A and B are shown apart, each in its own frame.
Chain A
């Protein structure tokens, strides 16, 4: 839990009294795993968000108010997240930031919708920076949810475009986490590969429990037995690291097509065996631009160490476009900021990004990259780094949507 640095001795009743938010403070809640299996990604994300918020505050805050980030640990648990969400709202938070786990995102987006319906005038907005189940901007979309990461379908489109051109790919094994996001990845892979390369055989479609498997050797044995040359997986955090570890131990020789090959610890786990085989689709990687972005370098200086390898470029985009929307709306009120955010465009070092008004999905450039030697910037002190295979411009990542959201008057 994030210590608020308040005095420790407080009478019981007074401890439950929460002072009205200070006049010049905008409270934003961060609800993500800070302990347990996904702690590595949650903690890294928290540091990244705090880093950009500090930058905004140093420049004067938004509309005169400094942002305070309140952190809550949810252990990737939808029920726990709603308990923390209640706490956050009662604490005065008007914005909620979450990303690790689409299961949680589903619960939060529904809860935020219900809260806003029941408490007009005290609306809360959900800033989703990493939960990429496409349903959140399609059948489950609502006005109060904004997503700043390309959804699973958009990423799969970019990945399969590159795979389609690769003659070496003959068979594919799918292994994913058994929940909404993992199933979405599997469905997207099957659909898009059938379209673009019907000759590729899908030799396996595995779903394993989320954040529970300690030893992936049985799964690796199945992959081996299926005799595939490529594995597609949406696994993240511990599930990614342990899968890769088991694969390396067993000497599995496949191409790893991943969403989260950049998960902390993955490159360290695979090491040299990952060169030219570990691929990922992401909105950025360390060698995306010839020179390292200044904020990335500053982050690395402030947080040295392999477990703090910068990953969340989308946090930078999110906070910059958020601050821009707040400036445009000349207010920090969630309703006004949301209206300003819809349809907004912004320039970034990687290209132009746009927040779609129809389904609140951010369009940003996507990179498909492979782990290589001889790159300018390496990751996790391994001597290996990412090299771009293909870049998809923001506009081209856009996919049709079924979203029909109700807008406030």
Chain B
């Protein structure tokens, strides 16, 4: 079961009898989210165009990742071609924007609806053929369809714009209430409003019978047939719904960037949304949002600091798969029942002791990686680079030896702290279970 809302854990469901409290508990989280979204662009750090632009990107990515999780987390469908629906939605939206630029009297805030509609149609058409199977075959079909659509966009330059893509203007439109969406702040609010609406709808979907059947299909398709549902139809509906929201994200993307080109349907974008959803955690509703925020931030900011950022993301992803398959949100939620126990206070020092060698090993690895990247991709900048406040010279063997020692030593020390953490963790969960505050 997977329905914790945004990190706050519903601990004892049985006691929710008092109507106002129940209403607050159910919807309170959403109100908090809305408030946060309202206030965010005015906080220090986000007060400039770059920050607001980043927030807008995060919102779009969050919608896309949530729509992807309707497939991955809810229905158990691994798709490598999800960007197709995002891109097709984006193309529909940008064409609508062009029509608006030429006089069609529709206000700009309604443009994402075109994206959603296009996504839905594409999802229904392509989904009818592709959702007959699940598992690896579905993954392969989605890969093939993704590549197919990507290649096909170049064959129809009239609609898809070829290499140049399609551009439009978000300001040349009717301006209700005097808002022309020229500034990034206005675009952010529009995007955030749509993103919140989309998230609410997607969350509501998980509570509908169809949503529950999706989870059932994920867990045991054979049993679903016995209960009287057709797993293939359930998958199809989930697919179409997820494509609708992906198209919505595409529409938001079209407004934000005022251009849609072939790589909107491309494999790279499909791969990125997969990474986001998985790293954030596909088992919880808010997991993909977390993944979208983290990955968008990494893409936007880390890439300015180091040319090795994609390597770090890739390693992070692999580590997540190997050691934390429930993702970041899974890690957080895992701690929820334990936080209230006294044993947690003993868990913290165990973590603290383990963190030290982990950080040491990480520093060593970063030193080695950064030096290698400097030598191979930017040799003209010389061999000296700034790391952690000191200058490191890649030309001297000592830097390499130091890095290797840090990695090896840190790694070994980290391994030896595992026992400590694992016993502290066991104690904590035992205590949690004993006091009745565990997860179901």
- The answer to whether A and B touch directly, with their CB atoms under 8 angstroms apart, is yes
Chain A residues proximal to chain B, CB less than 8 Å: 1-10, 12-18, 47, 50, 77-80, 82-83, 86-87, 89-91, 101, 103, 106-107, 110-111, 114, 117-118, 178-180, 209-210, 302-303
Docked CA distance A106–B154 (Å):
17
Docked CA distance A251–B78 (Å):
47
Contact of A5 among B46, B385, B389 (CB under 8 A): B385
CB pair B309 A12 closer than 8 Å: no
- With both chains docked as a complex, state the minimum distance between the C-beta of B293 and any C-beta of chain A, in angstroms: 10
- With both chains docked as a complex, state the minimum distance between the C-beta of B165 and any C-beta of chain A, in angstroms: 5
CB pair B154 A209 closer than 8 Å: yes
Most chain-A Cβ atoms within 10 A of its Cβ — which of B163, B260, B263, B386? Answer: B163
CB pair A178 B50 closer than 8 Å: no
B261: Cβ under 8 A from any A Cβ: yes
* Chain B residues within an 8 Å CB radius of A180: 162-164
B259: Cβ under 8 A from any A Cβ: yes
CB pair A79 B154 closer than 8 Å: no
- Given A77-B261, A83-B257, check contact A179 B50 (CB 8 Å): no
Q: List 16 A-B contacts (CB under 8 A).
A: A3-B373, A5-B385, A13-B44, A14-B45, A15-B305, A16-B51, A77-B261, A78-B261, A79-B263, A79-B264, A103-B163, A107-B164, A107-B167, A180-B162, A180-B164, A303-B380
- With both chains docked as a complex, state the minimum distance between the C-beta of B398 and any C-beta of chain A, in angstroms: 19
Contact of A16 among B50, B370, B385 (CB under 8 A): B50
In the complex, given contacts A8-B387, A82-B258, A180-B162, what are 16 additional A-B residue pairs having Cβ atoms less than 8 angstroms apart? A6-B305, A8-B388, A12-B297, A13-B45, A15-B301, A16-B45, A86-B49, A86-B257, A87-B53, A89-B49, A103-B164, A107-B164, A118-B171, A178-B154, A302-B380, A303-B380
CB pair B378 A3 closer than 8 Å: yes
B435: Cβ under 8 A from any A Cβ: no
Docked CA distance A179–B162 (Å):
7
* Chain B residues within an 8 Å CB radius of A89: 49
Within 8 A of A (CB), among B267-309: 297, 300-301, 303-307, 309
Look across to chain B and name the residue whose beta carbon is closest to the beta carbon of A305: B379
CB pair B167 A18 closer than 8 Å: no
- Given A1-B304, A17-B45, check contact A78 B259 (CB 8 Å): yes
* Chain B residues within an 8 Å CB radius of A50: 380
Docked CA distance A77–B266 (Å):
12
Chain B residues proximal to chain A, CB less than 8 Å: 44-46, 48-51, 53-54, 154, 162-165, 167, 169, 171, 182-183, 257-261, 263-264, 297, 300-301, 303-307, 309, 366, 370, 373-374, 378, 380-381, 385-389
Look across to chain A and name the residue whose beta carbon is closest to the beta carbon of B269: A79
- With both chains docked as a complex, state the minimum distance between the C-beta of B349 and any C-beta of chain A, in angstroms: 24
Contact of A78 among B49, B154, B165, B309 (CB under 8 A): B165
- With both chains docked as a complex, state the minimum distance between the C-beta of A39 and any C-beta of chain B, in angstroms: 10
Number of A-B residue pairs with CB-CB distance less than 8 Å in the complex they form: 125
Docked CA distance A180–B167 (Å):
15
CB pair A90 B305 closer than 8 Å: no
- With both chains docked as a complex, state the minimum distance between the C-beta of A301 and any C-beta of chain B, in angstroms: 12
- With both chains docked as a complex, state the minimum distance between the C-beta of B287 and any C-beta of chain A, in angstroms: 19
Docked CA distance A133–B141 (Å):
38
Look across to chain B and name the residue whose beta carbon is closest to the beta carbon of A13: B45
Contact of A2 among B171, B183, B378 (CB under 8 A): B378
Look across to chain A and name the residue whose beta carbon is closest to the beta carbon of B299: A83
CB pair A9 B388 closer than 8 Å: yes
- With both chains docked as a complex, state the minimum distance between the C-beta of A222 and any C-beta of chain B, in angstroms: 19
Docked CA distance A276–B167 (Å):
44
* Chain B residues within an 8 Å CB radius of A18: 48, 50
- With both chains docked as a complex, state the minimum distance between the C-beta of A77 and any C-beta of chain B, in angstroms: 6
Docked CA distance A122–B397 (Å):
48
CB pair A80 B167 closer than 8 Å: no
CB pair B162 A178 closer than 8 Å: yes
* Chain B residues within an 8 Å CB radius of A179: 162-164
Contact of B309 among A1, A91, A103, A178 (CB under 8 A): A1
Docked CA distance A89–B49 (Å):
9
- With both chains docked as a complex, state the minimum distance between the C-beta of A311 and any C-beta of chain B, in angstroms: 16
Contact of B53 among A3, A14, A79, A90 (CB under 8 A): A90
- With both chains docked as a complex, state the minimum distance between the C-beta of A176 and any C-beta of chain B, in angstroms: 12
- With both chains docked as a complex, state the minimum distance between the C-beta of B246 and any C-beta of chain A, in angstroms: 16
